[in-house]
Amino acid sequence: MDQRLEDVIALLELEQLEVNLFRGDSRDIGSPQVFGGQVLGQSLVAAYRTVEARACHSLHAYFLRRGDFDAPIVYQVDRSRDGQSFTNRRVVAIQHGEQIFHMSCSFQVTEPGMDHSAAMPDVPPPEALRDFQSYHEELLAELPEKVRRFFEHRRPFEFRPVRMPNYVNPEPLPPAKQVWFRTVDRVPSDEDRVHRCLLAYVSDYNLLDTATLPHAASFAHLQMASIDHAMWFHRPFRVDEWMLYAVDSPSASGARGFARGSIFTRDGRLVASTAQEGLIRLRDSAIGEPARG
């Protein structure tokens, strides 16, 4: 198995400290704080560790404080409800004695019902597109150091955008994009929960920055951070097979951007939906005044 994938799977294998209490390691992926997808994925793992024979169908989370990637994170699970069909959990992530994140998630037993879904956008197949990483390698010398660290990180997922972004000289674009993605190697487990937790991890990529596209803003001049994140799982899938992330941003205002995403399998099945609001501030170098903390 590819070392990058092995590492992220190990990252999602939490240590149990006590009943309903778990601890996870952190990773530096080149961002100023712990990657939000890491906390999402680990929180969902913690919740799954207290649930039997049910699949997560939705989660709603808030990022409260910046996470420290040099320290582990403790996850406390509250068993809010165990019903006949649905189970609800609340997870609080704690670091340095403070809450940095909390999430509510719901699980359901498998049952039949009405079935329909939106159509997948008509886009080129992943084989016709360039890999994100190869494009980044060409750009590295032109990017500021603080931005370069993020793009130099070797990710456990392969991304192939339908439209390659221009991070050096951005131009105004419609607030929408489509990106094919999958893990860099085959996931050794067939367990549905493993693939859902990995999808929660990767869902934080390619989402919030969609709100910046109409404004032609360089990453070097932006302060960005996730505020909340919601996700709905509709159907089973494998995250090591190509999936399309179709994202649009209907609004940006008040130093916040809003984005929503639909995740399709290659054969056009809608398997998950996402929504996120995040902080988007222009730094002092772009607007001539100090950036607020």
By annotation, the residues acting in catalysis are 204, 226, 276
CB contact at 8 A, 224 and 280: yes
In one-letter notation, the amino acid at residue 287 is: I
Strand order across the 15-18 sheet: 15-18, 21-24, 73-82, 86-95, 98-108, 55-63, 222-233, 270-282, 256-265, 243-253, 176-183, 157-161
Instruction: Provide the CA 13 distance to its chain's centre, in angstroms.
Output: 18
Contact 254, 185 (CB under 8 A): no
The whole-angstrom separation of Cα 75 and Cα 188 is: 25
- Report in angstroms the alpha-carbon separations of 173 from 76, 139, 213, 216, 220: 42, 20, 5, 7, 18
**Which stretches within 163-275 are classed as H helix?**
192-202
Measure the CA–CA gap between 265 and 95, rounded to whole angstroms. 36
